[in-house]
Amino acid sequence: MPFYPVVLHLAGQHCAVVGGGAVAERKVLPLLNAEAKVTVISPHLTPRLAEMAEARLIVHIDRPYRFGDLEGFFLIICATDKNDINQQAAVEARGYGALLNVADEPDLGNFSVPAQVVRGDLLITVSTGGKTPAMARRLREELAQQYGPEYGMYIDLLGKLRQEMKARLATAKDREVFWRETIDRDILELLRQGKIKEAEARVRYAISSTWTKP
């Protein structure tokens, strides 16, 4: 089945997770990281989810799922260990036109959650369409080793200097030269070593020394 990749902005969006076990916990964490408003529907929670509910990081509906619970949610994840409950919840979610993911039964939903490597604002995802999760995990681990925290730091640095870069590099050709000059191992190595000021100086030098040749 072909897929269309998107990156969702979930800040402030109401999302529901049906289930309170280990799988549900894995689904909840990325939603919270995306600043979504998360409701978990389950009579039982993992210790970590229980802590989140106690801290009011999530809303906990302390009972089994019932038809009608999912009205008004933008995104819904069905993650119980009971197939019949997942299927019932999926039917309701589809009726509302919500974004729907069903753990272990991707064909019942309309999106899948890829394996992720997060480095600040850098997000790298790997998806096998739910067919081989082990392969997705393996590739995620390899990417995590290749792209360390310094990449997120580099993006933050460029964001800090974005307006200066746009003001001084007015043409597409200038910006192309700039990216060639700055995305290099030397700057990344400086960031890896925690030499933030030195890395920033290198980027500023690239901005000031870049120009369009006649």
Written as six digits, the tokens of 204 are: 């500023």
Return the number of other C-beta atoms located less than 10 Å from residue 202's C-beta: 18
Closest CA to 73 of 90, 57, 54, 96: 96
214 located within any domain: no
CA distance 1 to 132: 14
Written as six digits, the tokens of 133 are: 């999760």
Task: Indicate whether 47 and 96 sit together in one domain.
Answer: yes
Strand-pair partners of 61: 41
For 163-202, write each residue's pLDDT tens digit.
Answer: 777 777 777 777 777 777 667 778 888 998 999 999 888 8
Q: Using the predicted structure, report yes or no on whether residue 75 has a pLDDT greater than 60.
A: yes
CA distance 38 to 10: 10
Task: Indicate whether 7 and 107 sit together in one domain.
Answer: yes
54 located within any domain: yes
Q: Which helix (H) or strand (E) holds 88?
A: helix 83-96
For residue 79, the domain's CATH number is 3.40.50.720
Task: Indicate whether 161 and 137 sit together in one domain.
Answer: no
Q: How far is CA 6 from CA 3, 114, 168, in A?
A: 10, 11, 32
For 134-150, write each residue's pLDDT tens digit.
Answer: 898 999 999 999 999 99
Q: Which range marks the domain in which residue 119 is found?
A: 114-147
Task: State residue 210's pLDDT score.
Answer: 63
Query: Does the predicted model carry a pTM greater than 0.85?
Result: no
